Amino acid sequence: MNPSHGIPHPLVLSGRTALVTGGSGALGRAVVKVFRDAGAQVHVPIFDPNEIPGLEAHLEGDLSRIHLHRDVDLTRPEGVDQLFGKLPPVEVVANLAGGFAMAGVEDTDPATWERMFRMNATTAFLVSRAAFPAMRAAGFGRILMVSAFPAVDRGAAGMTAYGAAKAAVLNLTQALAREGAEHGITANAVLPSIIDTEANREAMPDADRKRWLKPDEIARVLRFLASEEAGIVTGAAVPLTLAP
């Protein structure tokens, strides 16, 4: 198939340098593999070393074009600065690092509120800010975010801090899209419904999983948004859910 028509060629990221935050998590592992298989050099910051064996297993022991950076705290400006001091110019950023808390407003303490913003919004802000200068200089950049349906659906009862933080992620995405437009930088967010992960299966053992999204399905969407073919897509909030 001609890569300029329809589905992009599998090596659509060949020669690109990608940074995948949260790359050792369930979705992150899928994105790391899909980006690697698409030809990118993939850099993965690691905070919890206990998650490295899971990533290596998902990659079937093939760490070609995979670069792990240990002891990286993306919630701290100095942690992000130290990371970028070791990286080549980054062309694709997938901001997947985040966290979740289920609680209504009365049960959300200030520490949980701050943690949700720090893990979801602050990490995306710090990493995007650090990547922006090299992208601007190169005239090319792709910034990818993971938001959530509460960000566009008038919030969500029972997940006050999480929904607010994901709304901040979406607003940040749209601001970056406007700021990057004249420099060849796009910024887009995906809004997945429930992802089929081990953690979600344990949390909802009796749920009907037929419409849950597979991590690799989401990863393929992110691969397209990272490609040159997606250059006319920016500032988008892309809902990801299986049709009934």
CA-based end-to-end distance of the chain: 30
- Single out the residue of 241, 191, 185 nearest to residue 211, CA to CA: 241
- At residue 195 the predicted structure's pLDDT band, cuts being 50, 70 and 90, is confident
Q: Which contiguous run of DSSP H or E holds residue 47?
A: none
3-state DSSP: the chain helix, strand, coil percent, rounded to 5?
45, 15, 40
Q: What's the CA gap between 165 and 214, in Å, rounded?
A: 23
Which strands form 41-45's sheet, in the order they lie side by side? 66-69, 41-45, 17-21, 92-95, 141-146, 185-192, 237-240
* Tens-place pLDDT, residues 22-63: 999 999 999 999 999 999 999 999 999 999 999 999 999 899
Q: What is the pLDDT of residue 1?
A: 39
Please identify which residue in the block is written with the tokens 């100095």.
Answer: 78
Q: Where are the domains of the chain?
A: 17-240
Contact (CB, 8 A) for 2 and 8? no
Q: Is the pLDDT of residue 108 over 70?
A: yes
Q: Which amino acid is present at 93?
A: V
CB 173 within 8 A of CB 4: no
User: Of 162, 168, 190, 213, which residue is the catalytic one?
Assistant: 162
Domain at 17-240: CATH code: 3.40.50.720
Lowest mean pLDDT among 110-114, 192-196, 233-237: 192-196
Q: Known catalytic residue: 29? A: no
User: Tokens 């948004």 identify what position?
Assistant: 225
pLDDT of 2: 47
For residues 65-70, give the mean pLDDT: 96
Report pLDDT digits (tens) over 124-173.
999 999 999 999 999 999 999 999 888 888 777 888 999 999 999 999 99
Mean pLDDT of 205-232: 92
Kindly state the tokens that stand for 65: 């074009």
Q: Give the tokens for residue 197.
A: 């992960």
Helix (H) / strand (E) element for 54: namely helix 52-58
